Amino acid sequence: MDYIAGYIGRKATSTLNHILNLFAFTCRIFVLILQRPKAGRALVRRISLEQVYFTCVQALPIIIPIALVFGSMLIIQFAKISGQYDLGKTMVMLIVRELGPIVTALLVILRSATAVTIEISFMNTFHEIDTIEMAGIDPMRIVCLPKFIGITSAMLCLFIVFDIVAIIGGYSVIWIFTHITMGNFMAQIGRAITATDIVVGIIKAMFFGIIIAATCLKHGFSIKKLITDVPVNNSKAAVECFFYCLVINVIISILFYM
């Protein structure tokens, strides 16, 4: 029993320290955002735009078909029982409130965040971060800040694209290729969606982007010597990001809708 209690205590302490370190790491990035020195501003802007292009623009051929599939599938299923459920409210609740942020976050984690973790891990392993520090440059500003801004901005943009394509695109697919009666679907969406739904979706997307970027960057910086630790660390970062997103999703939904 003493061994079990000691193990639980050590694990809890280690987890708490990790969360506090992650919070401190995120706060340090926000401090860098607020400082905005003139030196290196153009470089930070260029790397941020490159990250947005990689995370958002290049992901559009993936996110658009996924949104069409989700949107059309949900419309088909709930249109069949539209007498029992308000189709507009159901689609807003499932897509705008829940599925939109989560599916977008999962795509960003699998496609971009893991790539950032591997990139930073190799930069650490091959002492590129040490080289940047020896040159008198803060790696947090040159490496972390632009990727943090890029991933967070891309997450918000992809969430908006997913919602629009899932609702409007899904409705268009059903209207063109099937004979399912949906009534005045768009009017129902207009009546069902509220400012709270839009604000909550944006808040979730922003928080997801922040926690995904901060977690992956933190894990990337934790690798120091062994290349063999990179895949394991990358897997841990991805799972941790998704778990944090689920927890944040539940907390925000409870705060606004309960």
| Mean pLDDT for back-to-back runs of 10 residues, the chain (258 residues) | 72 84 89 77 86 90 91 80 67 84 91 88 84 83 89 92 89 77 73 84 92 91 78 87 92 83
What residue numbers bound the domain in which 180 lies?
2-257
CA–CA distance, 51 with 72 (Å, rounded to integer): 30
Q: Write the single-letter amino acid at 59.
A: A
Q: Determine the pLDDT at residue 213.
A: 92
Q: Determine the pLDDT at residue 91.
A: 82
For 227-253, give the DSSP string.
Answer: TTHHHHHHHHHHHHHHHHHHHHHHHHH
Q: Determine the pLDDT at residue 35.
A: 79
CA–CA distance, 237 with 32 (Å, rounded to integer): 23
Whole-angstrom CA distances from 225 to 17, 110, 131 are 22, 25, 15
Nearest to 246 by CA among 56, 69, 106: 106
Q: Determine the pLDDT at residue 151.
A: 92
Q: Determine the pLDDT at residue 38.
A: 72
Phi and psi at 182, nearest 5°, equal: -115, 0
**How many domains does one find in the chain?**
1
Q: Determine the pLDDT at residue 180.
A: 67
